[in-house]
Structure 1
Amino acid sequence: MGNGASISFWKECWITDEPLCKKLPGLYPLESNKNAKVMDRLRVTPEEKITKTQWERNPETDEEKFQLEELMSMLMMTDIQGGDDTCAWNLESAGGFTVKSLGRRMEQASNPGPGMGFEWNNWVPLKVNFLAWRIYMGRVATMDGLRRRNVHLDSYLCKICGEVDETDDHLFVGCQFVLAVWDSIVEWTRCPRLFAITVKDVITIHNQIRGTRKWRKLIQSIVMVALWGIRRSRNDRVFNDKERSLDEVKHEIRQLSFLWFKYRVKRLSVTWDHWCNMELSCMSL
């Protein structure tokens, strides 16, 4: 995206992996111009970001207001580079179309495996893959999951922040403690900041990052290890009454991801210093 003059605000995938009309189904019917372009709804100046909305009526229900807050949050975290919008092929690091990359993606789509599209990663242990797969399928135990199974507890609040009910999306995406973990990973890997609403957005986020296949696989492995670390931190609070600091969780993610990468991808030589500074020439960044 350049200035957003040719990209549909509601009907194209420009801010998440699906159009906003599907991501925000309660808000879309209120839009007065459903063919509006990104430029019509979001302008960026050197001083500020300007949002412009045109509703048939103002959002009134709880669902509409909640989705409006989600929309505003996404827009505030989005950068518009300026210049003309251009086309790029995300399956190749150079941005150009190749038949080989298309064939590879079609093969993946025709053989989705037991996770209905979930991608396994042999750079991390099987137990980490299984946890990520269970999270992807919505089968990991949370307080909200227990409530849906009619397990009666005194509280269903998140065991990390204690402020919101513990759902899959809150535990792995929405909790303030977890957001700080993801912020540290973005800073460490120097990946562009991508907005995620659901935990599935996080698990598949490597597909939205430009770079070589090895680089995207590396980011996927780090995300899986982060999910593992977040889950361990949560379980320590629940079962061991042990509160782990943000620095402890960040260090564990960096250390475990390095050890598993080093001993599972032996053909690529990486030192701890290179890993900490994300100076990985072997990834052909």
Structure 2
Amino acid sequence: MRSDSPHSSSLGTWTNIILAGKEIDEMNIPFSNSFVKTLGDGSSTAFWKEVWIGSSKLCDKYPRLYMLECVQNAMVSDRLQICNATMTYNWNWIRTPCGRTMGKLDSLTELLSGTSLSSETKDKWLWIMSGNERFTVKILSSIIDESLLAIGTNNYETIRNNLVPKKLEIFTWRVIKKRILVKLELDKRGIDLHSVRCPLCDDDLETIDHALIFCKHSLDVWNRIFKWWGLGNFSNLSTNEILRGIAPSQMSNLGRLIWQAVEWVCVYFIWKNRNNRVFHGKMWNTPIALNEIQSKSFEWISHRSKGKKLDWFDWLNNPSVYLTI
């Protein structure tokens, strides 16, 4: 099959989009079914193996005919041709259809009777979730924001926090849904690993809670974060409790959002540094991780906290002043 088909075995752009779409479908967003093939000259559309006419693949609708096909990867242009403004069929059978199969061929030719090809244009995919029928990551991100991030998850009211970028909200959703690929989750998916123990400390199985909280390297970061904010010792909270934004009762509503945003940034950069260690061989450096969390949380929150100006000196030295504003 040609590489410009979204179902091609080669990992082209459309293939990667469709593969990523399987996870989006699980968010109750009908992404994989949102692409519609429109014919031009029929040279890049698989006759039997793609949905280009009707609502199903012709190989599924007419399995007996498909089994008689000599070239099962044939394109539409291989089987349909326009000659003097008349549609002609260029079949290539292992043996001539007969009996009940001949009736299926009559049904297929009737289905194809309204098909039109144009030698002047190429086949193309349209994305029906976009007003201009063109796929863009920006539009998809907006759809995910509206359809996913505001819904409850695991009985939690929300996973939204407008003080952080959307990528952090999406990462948070992935953590809650156990979609980040720690070793134990990979093992559950049948991926054979040499070990499912934590690749950083080797003290325990690498679960999501262990990787993001209880690994001695992660825990060192959390203790420093709590000390930085003057909140005493880090409590043994689960990842879900952290992402939900468990906070002392004396915090204001904005203070709770700020603290939750800092926790989310902390989880994000712990995971980033874990991956740098696992995939790039970089040594874990807690002071550098803390600096990343301090600078990025200040940048992201200060840009989004409407009417509340944050001071960098206070942020580094006395951030708890922002918990009651």
TM bracket (short chain): 0.5 to 0.7
CA distance change for structure 1 residues 175 and 195 in 2, over 3 Å: closer, same or farther?
Answer: same
Aligned to 1:155: 195
Structure 1, residues 36-66: CA drift from partner, whole Å, max 9, x if none? xxxxxxxxxxxxxxxxxxxxxxxxxxxxxxx
Distance in 1 between residues matched to 2:233 and 2:245, nearest whole Å: 10
CA distance change for structure 1 residues 279 and 145 in 2, over 3 Å: closer, same or farther?
Answer: closer
Deviation, structure 1 residue 160: 2.0
CA distance change for structure 1 residues 112 and 252 in 2, over 3 Å: closer, same or farther?
Answer: closer
Aligned to 1:191: 231
Write out aligned runs for 1:1-285 (5 A): 113-116=151-154, 117=156, 118-193=158-233, 195-279=235-319, 281=321, 284=324
Deviation, structure 1 residue 193: 3.8
Distance in 1 between residues matched to 2:165 and 2:256, nearest whole Å: 18
- Tell me if structure 2 keeps the 8 A contact 1:172–1:199: yes
- Tell me if structure 2 keeps the 8 A contact 1:191–1:209: no
Distance in 2 between residues matched to 1:198 and 1:171, nearest whole Å: 11
- Tell me if structure 2 keeps the 8 A contact 1:144–1:165: yes
Deviation, structure 1 residue 255: 0.7
Q: If the length of structure 1 is used for normalisation, what is the TM-score?
A: 0.57
Structure 1, residues 186-213: CA drift from partner, whole Å, max 9, x if none? 1111124453252112223434543100
Q: If the length of structure 2 is used for normalisation, what is the TM-score?
A: 0.50
Distance in 1 between residues matched to 2:150 and 2:172, nearest whole Å: 15
Deviation, structure 1 residue 162: 2.3
Distance in 1 between residues matched to 2:320 and 2:235, nearest whole Å: 25
Secondary structure class of the residue paired with 1:206: coil
Distance in 2 between residues matched to 1:175 and 1:281, nearest whole Å: 30
Structure 1, residues 215-248: CA drift from partner, whole Å, max 9, x if none? 1111100000001100100110122111230101
In structure 2, stretches of 5+ residues that fail to align are: 1-148
- Tell me if structure 2 keeps the 8 A contact 1:262–1:270: yes
Report the identity percentage: 25
Deviation, structure 1 residue 254: 0.6
- Tell me if structure 1 keeps the 8 A contact 2:197–2:204: yes
Distance in 1 between residues matched to 2:172 and 2:236, nearest whole Å: 16
Bigger CA radius of gyration = 2
Root-mean-square deviation (CA, aligned residues, Å) is 2.2
In structure 1, stretches of 5+ residues that fail to align are: 1-110
Secondary structure class of the residue paired with 1:253: helix
Distance in 2 between residues matched to 1:215 and 1:146, nearest whole Å: 37
CA distance change for structure 1 residues 280 and 197 in 2, over 3 Å: closer, same or farther?
Answer: closer
